A and B are shown apart, each in its own frame.
Chain A
Amino acid sequence: MGALFRLLSLRIPKLTSFFSAYYLVLFLPGSILLYGLAPKKCRPWVLLGLSMMFFWLISGERILYLLLAIFCIYYLGLWLDKLAQSRDAELKQAEKGEKKAIRERWTVKMRRVLLLGLAVLFGALVTVKYSAFLAENANAVMHWMRCPVQLSVPGFVMPIGISFFTMQAYGYLFDVYRGTVKAERNIGKLSLFLSFFPCIVEGPICRYSQTAESLWEGKALSYDRFTRGAQRIAFGMMKKLVVADRLNAFVEAVFDNGVSNQGGVMALAAIAYTFQLYMDFSGSMDAVLGTGEIFGVEIPENFRQPFFSRTVSEFWTRWHISLGGWFRDVIFYPVTTSAHMKKLTSAGRKKLGNHWGSLLTSGIALLCVWLSNGAWHGAGWNYIFFGLYHFVIIFTGSAIAPWCKTLSDKLRIDRGSSAFRVFQTLRTAVLVVIGELFFRATTLSRGMQMMGAILTNFTFSDLAVKNLFLDSADCVILLVTAAIVFAVGLKKEQGMDIRAALSEKSTAIRCLWPAGLVLYIIIFGAYGRGYIPVNPMYANF
Chain B
Amino acid sequence: MKNIQKLALFLGFLAVALWLCGLILTPKTNAPDGGIYYPDGMGILSEPTDSIDVLFIGDSEVCAAFSPMELWKHSGITAYACSSVDQQLYETEAIASVVLKNQHPKVVIFETNVFYRHMNRTDALMAKVDRAVPAIRYHDRWKTLTLRDFDPRAEYSYHNALKGFYPSTEVQAADTADYGRPDDAVNRPSAMNEKYIRSLTKMFTNAGAQVIFVTSPNTMNWDATRSSGVAELAQEMGVTYIDMNALREEIPIDFQTDTRDKGDHLNTAGAIKVMNFLNRYLAENFGLPDHRGQADFAQWDEDLQVYNQMIAR
Residue of A nearest to B8 (CB): A511
Contact of A519 among B9, B21, B120 (CB under 8 A): B21
Judge if B137 is at the interface, Cβ distance under 8 Å.
yes
Contact indicator B142/A515 (Cβ below 8 Å): no
Quote the shortest CB–CB distance from A246 to chain B (angstroms).
11
Chain A residues within an 8 Å CB radius of B10: 511, 514-515
Complex-state Cα separation, A473 to B145, whole angstroms: 11
Contact indicator A525/B122 (Cβ below 8 Å): no
Contact indicator A523/B139 (Cβ below 8 Å): yes
Contact of A511 among B6, B125, B139 (CB under 8 A): B6
Contact of A529 among B37, B120, B135 (CB under 8 A): B37
Complex-state Cα separation, A531 to B139, whole angstroms: 12
Cβ proximity bits A423-466 to B, threshold 8 Å, 1 near / 0 not = 00000000000000000000000000000000000000000000
Q: A13-B121, A13-B123, A21-B122 are in contact. Are A525 and B139 (CB under 8 A)?
A: yes
Chain B residues within an 8 Å CB radius of A12: 120
Which one of B3, B9, B122, B136 has the highest number of Cβ atoms from chain A below 10 Å of its Cβ?
A: B122
- Interface size, chain B (Cβ < 8 Å): 26
Which one of B21, B25, B126 has the highest number of Cβ atoms from chain A below 10 Å of its Cβ?
A: B126
A-B pair number, CB within 8 angstroms: 63
Contact indicator B13/A512 (Cβ below 8 Å): yes
Complex-state Cα separation, A531 to B136, whole angstroms: 14
Provide the main secondary structure of the chain A interface.
helix
Judge if A510 is at the interface, Cβ distance under 8 Å.
yes
Contact indicator A507/B9 (Cβ below 8 Å): yes
Chain B residues within an 8 Å CB radius of A528: 130, 136-137, 139-140
Contact indicator A22/B122 (Cβ below 8 Å): yes
Chain A residues within an 8 Å CB radius of B14: 515, 518-519
Chain B residues within an 8 Å CB radius of A474: 143
Judge if B18 is at the interface, Cβ distance under 8 Å.
yes
Contact of A522 among B9, B37, B139 (CB under 8 A): B139
Residue of B nearest to A510 (CB): B6
Quote the shortest CB–CB distance from B130 to chain A (angstroms).
8
Complex-state Cα separation, A41 to B125, whole angstroms: 34
Judge if B246 is at the interface, Cβ distance under 8 Å.
no
Quote the shortest CB–CB distance from B290 to chain A (angstroms).
40
Contact indicator A524/B137 (Cβ below 8 Å): no
Judge if B129 is at the interface, Cβ distance under 8 Å.
yes
Q: Which of B109-146 contact A (CB under 8 A)?
A: 120-123, 125-126, 129-130, 135-137, 139-140, 142-143
Complex-state Cα separation, A223 to B142, whole angstroms: 34
Complex-state Cα separation, A510 to B2, whole angstroms: 13
Judge if A25 is at the interface, Cβ distance under 8 Å.
yes
Residue of A nearest to B130 (CB): A528
Complex-state Cα separation, A512 to B10, whole angstroms: 7
Chain B residues within an 8 Å CB radius of A516: 17
Chain A residues within an 8 Å CB radius of B130: 528
Chain B residues within an 8 Å CB radius of A25: 125-126, 129
Q: Which residues of A contact B (CB under 8 A)?
A: 12-13, 21-22, 25-26, 223, 471, 473-474, 507-508, 510-512, 514-516, 518-519, 522-525, 527-531
- 6 additional contacts, CB 8 Å, given A518-B14, A519-B135, A528-B136? A21-B126, A507-B6, A510-B6, A514-B10, A523-B139, A528-B139
A-B contact list, 9 entries, CB within 8 Å: A13-B123, A21-B126, A21-B129, A26-B122, A514-B10, A515-B14, A525-B139, A528-B130, A531-B140
